[in-house]
Amino acid sequence: YGGMGLDFSYNIALAQELGSIRCGGIPMAIGVQAVMATPALTRFGSDELKKQFLVPTIAGDFVACLGISEAGAGSDVANIKTTAVRKGDEYVINGGKMWTTSGCQADWMCLLANTSEGPRHQNKSLICLPMNLPGIHVAKKIDKLGMRSSDTAQIFFEDVRVPSKNLIGEEGKGFTYQMLQFQEERLWGAATVLTPLETIIQETIDYTRQRKVFDQPILHNQAVHFRLAELATEVELLRSLLYRTVALYMEGKDVTKFASMTKLKAGRLAREVTDSCLQFWGGMGFTSEVLVSRLYRDLRLMSIGGGADEIMLSIICKYMETLPSK
């Protein structure tokens, strides 16, 4: 279908390199295209669907978005309310999606919707939804703290009709398909923060070495150089965990626990490194003129998007068998 046919380890190599871009929005948009909106279509979609949606997406002619989160359902994916009711050879879609990356410019959406009244983990389906159909309303581009170069949309659906052949895989399997790709999405996210964290530690070293306070470089304070050493060590530990998890994933192992640990640590460390480094930049760090303030804003999303820290902790506890039963 136009792709290179490489294994997932290449995604991680790409994600790390994209971290060299001096903002978070562009790597995130590429990630949505490569590891969030298209894997289910690639794995389970019909040949006809792949030709219609996947080929132009791989070629870069189509922008894809992922319609999962809603105003009342973020990390709790099973709680979505959007419906796709089968009528003849069409689905009629009603509801809305929130926090949709690239939603203002997307050509199609990989939409998760309720297609039956059954149990909430078995009543959802994924549908390829062209974004130019009547009844699709892009309500607004959301104004965000960070990732400001990435458009994030609120979208409503009002009696949107889409052919039933646009169903990805089997009806009722949408939640399962979505859970499968979450592990890749979380590993991609962790990989994209490695290079920015390295970069901002090095830029902070360079700045504190030349900036003097009380006639000595800021870097000469033990509190500063010890802290930067500690942060650099944490980044290397994150890298090792990421690489170990990817290696296990490549062997076909269930990496849900390790992927959750990696995502959790990446989000926590993104906050810790940018906050500590910004402090060492002083007043200059509080301006929009330096990278550290941008990464402070952009990388804050890592602890929220793709499953919040608290969701990762719950998953880890489930695998450790320490999560209280409901």
> What is the reported pLDDT for 326?
75
- Which two tokens mark 210? 């030349």
- Classify residue 145 as exposed, middle or buried by CB count within 10 Å of its CB (0-12, 13-18, 19+): exposed
Q: How many domains does the chain have?
A: 2
Does some domain include residue 3?
A: no
Does some domain include residue 236?
A: yes
Q: Is there a single domain that holds both residue 196 and residue 213?
A: yes
CB atoms within 10 A of CB 119: 11
Q: Is there a single domain that holds both residue 182 and residue 165?
A: no
pLDDT tens, residue by residue, 127-178? 999 999 999 999 999 999 999 999 999 999 999 999 999 999 999 999 999 9
pLDDT tens, residue by residue, 214-257? 999 999 999 999 999 999 999 999 999 999 999 999 999 999 99
Q: Is there a single domain that holds both residue 143 and residue 183?
A: no
Residues 89-105, mean pLDDT to the nearest whole number: 97
Does some domain include residue 126?
A: yes
**Which DSSP string corresponds to 95-124?**
EEEEEEETTTT-SEEEEEEE-SSS-TTTSE
Residue 269 has pLDDT above 80, yes or no: yes
Q: Which CATH number covers residue 308?
A: 1.20.140.10
Question: What's 207's DSSP letter?
Answer: H
Annotated catalytic residue 70: no
Q: What percent of the chain has pLDDT over 70?
A: 100
Measuring CA to CA, how many Å separate 42 from each of 131, 168, 177, 183? Answer: 19, 9, 11, 16
- Which two tokens mark 194? 């490695």
> What is the reported pLDDT for 314?
96
Q: Is there a single domain that holds both residue 151 and residue 202?
A: no
- Domain of residue 230 covers 176-320
pLDDT class of 69 with cuts at 50, 70, 90: very high
Nearest to 108 by CA among 136, 88, 129, 124: 129
> What is the reported pLDDT for 87?
97
Residues 169-189, mean pLDDT to the nearest whole number: 94
Does some domain include residue 2?
A: no
Q: Is there a single domain that holds both residue 158 and residue 189?
A: no
Last residue of a domain, one of 136, 171, 206: 171
Measuring CA to CA, how many Å separate 2 from each of 61, 108, 117? Answer: 12, 18, 38
How far is Cα 196 from Cα 318, in angstroms, rounded to an integer?
A: 31
Cα angle 13, 16, 17; round to 5 = 90
Residue 201 has pLDDT above 80, yes or no: yes
Q: Is there a single domain that holds both residue 197 and residue 113?
A: no
> What is the reported pLDDT for 165?
98
> What is the reported pLDDT for 76?
86
Q: Is there a single domain that holds both residue 133 and residue 91?
A: yes
Q: Is there a single domain that holds both residue 165 and residue 192?
A: no
> What is the reported pLDDT for 75?
82
Q: Is there a single domain that holds both residue 188 and residue 303?
A: yes
Does some domain include residue 88?
A: yes
> What is the reported pLDDT for 103?
97
> What is the reported pLDDT for 325?
86
Does some domain include residue 269?
A: yes
Last residue of a domain, one of 171, 198, 222: 171
Last residue of a domain, one of 118, 142, 171: 171
- Which two tokens mark 32? 């949505």
Does some domain include residue 18?
A: yes
> What is the reported pLDDT for 74?
84
Terminal CA-to-CA distance of the chain, rounded, Å?
Answer: 45
How far is Cα 37 from Cα 168, in angstroms, rounded to an integer?
A: 12
Mean of all residue pLDDT scores within the chain: 97
* Cβ contacts of 112 within 8 Å, gap of 6 or more: 67, 68, 77, 80, 82, 124, 125, 126, 174, 175, 178
Q: Is there a single domain that holds both residue 28 and residue 160?
A: yes
Q: What percent of the chain has pLDDT over 90?
A: 95
Q: Which CATH number covers residue 24?
A: 2.40.110.10
Measuring CA to CA, how many Å separate 290 from each of 185, 235, 294, 301? Answer: 29, 21, 7, 19
Does some domain include residue 35?
A: yes
Q: Is there a single domain that holds both residue 32 and residue 91?
A: yes
Q: Is there a single domain that holds both residue 147 and residue 201?
A: no
How far is Cα 26 from Cα 23, in angstroms, rounded to an integer?
A: 7
Catalytic residue among 48, 185, 198, 230: 185
